[in-house]
Structures are given as C-alpha cells and as structure tokens.
Amino acid sequence: MAAKLVQTNEVQDYLKLVSGLTNTIGKARVKQIVHRIVSDLFQAIEDLEITPEEFWTGVSYINDLGAAGEAGLLAPGLGLEHFLDMRLDAEDEESGAPAGTPRTIEGPLYVGGAPLVAGHARLDDATEQGDTLIMHGIVRSVEGNPIPGALVDVWHANTKGLYSGFDKSQSEYNLRRRIQTDDAGGYEFRTIMPSGYGCPPEGPTQALLNAIGRHGRRPAHIHFFVSAPGYRHLTTQINISGDPYLYDDFAFATRDGLVPEIIQCRDEKSIRERGLEAHFLEIEFDFVLRAAPDHAAEQPIPRRRLVLA
C-alpha cells in the first residue's frame, strides 16, 4: 500500500489513546513501554506490509507459546536474555567496575528452595548411571579474599538433558543444591556429567526456529546463582568443553571465561580419597564476586520462578 499512516496525526493520537497516555490513572512506566512497543508494531505492520492473515497467525502463535509455557525458552532463543546481559556488561564497563566472573543467562528451568548444605554436596540421587563429576573451587572477592558463608546455588540437567521439577520421572531436587561455602570460601559437589538438550521438537519455540532456519540445541552446562551479603548477585553457568554445540548454543550463553578445563582423574589414591571405585572427572572453578552498590544488587533479578509445593 502506497499510503503511509503511522506518522499521521490521526494515528499518533490513536497510539496515545491506546496506551493510556490521554488519561491520568494507571502506571506511567507501563504506559511508556506499551506506547513504544505498540508504536513499533504499527510501524512494522506498515513497513513490512504485514497482512491480516500474518497478523492473526502471530496472535495464535502467542497463544500457543503461552499454553506450552515456553515464553521463557523463546526469550533466550531470540537473543533477548543475552542482550540484557550485554547491556549490564556495558554499564559495568562504563562505570569502571572491576571484572568478576562473567554473567550469563539464567534460562527458564530454575527451581527455588533446593536443600541447603554446608561445604560439600552430592547433587545426584544415584538412580542414573553417568560419568562422575566433582567440581570445586573458592568463592572470592575481586581483591582475592575468600568469602566464607557465600551461597552457591547449583542446578543442571541429567544425562537425558532433563531437569527435575519439570521432568516428573526425577526425584525432587535431583541435581539441585544450595551449598554454603566453608571458612576458606570453598565449595565442592559431586554429581554426574550433564547432557545438553534441545527445545521440545513439536513445541512453538522450535517451530519458530525452524521457520528462520535455526536449531534449538544447547551444549551441556551447569547453572549457578552465587551470592553473599555485600556482593553483587551472580547469575552464570559453566559450559562443558568438547560439546559439539559449545559455540553454537541456540541460547547464546557460552562466554569466554566460562569453559573450564575438565581433568580426567585416574589416580588410585585420589579415587580412594573421594570414596569412589573408578576414575572421575574434575573441574576446578573459582567464582569472583564484585561489591554490591546497594542491597538490591545482592538479589537475583525478580522474575517468576518455579517453587515446589
């Protein structure tokens, strides 16, 4: 269509009415955001000549996405969650804040309230066969000081790429624990090596990825929240080196500094000291926290998360 409507006074006034800018009730910030998003959608409809059929296909897709509970999966898949991290990184660089452990996306599969243990934890419930992995390290400040009593909240998928709390075949809080660091700032956990996973193949997220020619695979990884009073809350994850999707993650979460070396430990003395009967894999990784400017920075970003009843 040759006629352009969006920038006319009639449509601009209509957009203000639609987003509530012409009334004195409601929330000013919500109005500002709605006005911008709806204005951009109007402009996209006009610029791309989006047809009514395409529009209503999009509305149906949003309904399907909500019904499947996959909005939190599509957000990283379209790069939105990583873009939020990029903005926070840019703010840190602009302010001259000292570097700590890189942040990266949380993803949609956290479950709150995992068992709290001191110093050392076993994450798996011993019902699944897999390579034994022992990960340990120190939580410290950017100045190098260990942080006793820090909280390392860890979660990851099983060998099939499934997460407890969402996969009902697993026991409650399998492969999830909160570990409080010891007097030397140390933490350690024993688990099984996780697998990467893909988006549900028949779900709406994968349907959109198919339409734009992208896969929906993630490399094997382990998630963390790391926190302590007086320090910025850290949301991050380490990726497992050697995974074929390590640098082709559909969620764009792989970052320099978050791919630690994996050591194959076959030393009999070390095996016995760990109470094991065969070789194991080992990762040593220190988390470095930055000072928090205020109490809000000590907390995770507010969002809806699953909590088991």
259: CATH: 2.60.130.10
> Is the same domain home to 45 and 87?
no
pLDDT at 1: 66
> Is the same domain home to 42 and 91?
no
User: Which single residue is written with the structure tokens 């994450």?
Assistant: 123
> Is the same domain home to 11 and 81?
no
Total domains in the fold of the chain: 2
141 - beta bridge partners?
289
d(C-alpha 260, C-alpha 153), whole Å = 18
> Is the same domain home to 90 and 182?
yes
Say if 64 falls within a structural domain: no
Contact 174, 108 (CB under 8 A): no
Say if 55 falls within a structural domain: no
> Is the same domain home to 186 and 220?
yes
Which residues make Cβ contacts (< 8 Å) with residue 184, sequence separation at least 6? 138, 146, 148
Which residues make Cβ contacts (< 8 Å) with residue 118, sequence separation at least 6? 179, 180, 182
Could you tell me the maximum CA-CA distance found in the chain, to the nearest angstrom?
79
Prediction pTM value: 0.94
pLDDT at 265: 87
pLDDT at 273: 81
> Is the same domain home to 28 and 83?
no
pLDDT at 13: 98
pLDDT averaged per 10 residues, the chain (length 309):
88 98 97 98 97 98 98 98 97 90 97 97 95 97 97 98 96 98 98 97 98 98 98 98 96 97 88 84 97 95 91
Parent domain of 42: 1-50
> Is the same domain home to 156 and 298?
yes
pLDDT at 272: 86
Which residues make Cβ contacts (< 8 Å) with residue 131, sequence separation at least 6? 192, 193, 280, 281
Say if 195 falls within a structural domain: yes
> Is the same domain home to 208 and 303?
yes
